[in-house]
Amino acid sequence: MKLTNVGIVIATRDITLDSHQKVEVRIGKPEQMPDGIDWYCPYQIVGIGSGNVWWAGGVDAVQALVLALSQVGAKLVCSPEFEAGRLNWDCGAVKGDLGFPLPQSVIDLAPRPQIPPRQNGPGGQQA
């Protein structure tokens, strides 16, 4: 199924490219597939990549939405712009956190918070 637009936009997120350019993620309203059984959720990333409209399918609207968010996360962290450290979301927990869930296949690409080393308490015991 080829889509030319996301239809009704239910959510957007702005991500910053190179500290000043906007990359917009658009999530469309989940809809039933033409077969009337399964569901799909369209999404689009504008500002990097092709700008094509993509979609994720699921057994219901919620699964389609969750899978679309994961696909957005995967596309972003696998992009040359992310790999070069050029993408940022101001509300991320750590630098490089774009706030989207990631599928297991790319989870190792996600930034991780730095955990400070344990400090020894009185008498040299671990605190």
Residue boundaries of the structural domains of the chain: 9-109
DSSP secondary structure letter of residue 53: E
Burial profile 61-80: b = 16 or more Cβ within 10 angstroms, e = fewer: eebbbebbbbbbbbbbbebe
- What local confidence, expressed as pLDDT, does residue 63 receive? 98
- What local confidence, expressed as pLDDT, does residue 23 receive? 98
| Residuewise pLDDT in 10s, the chain (127 residues) | 899 999 999 999 999 999 999 999 999 999 999 989 999 999 999 999 999 999 999 999 999 999 999 999 999 999 999 999 999 999 998 888 999 999 888 877 777 655 556 666 565 555 5
pTM above 0.95, yes or no: no
- What local confidence, expressed as pLDDT, does residue 93 receive? 87
- What local confidence, expressed as pLDDT, does residue 124 receive? 56
DSSP string, 65-112: HHHHHHHHHHHHHTSHHHHTT-EE-TT-SSTT--S----GGGGGGS--
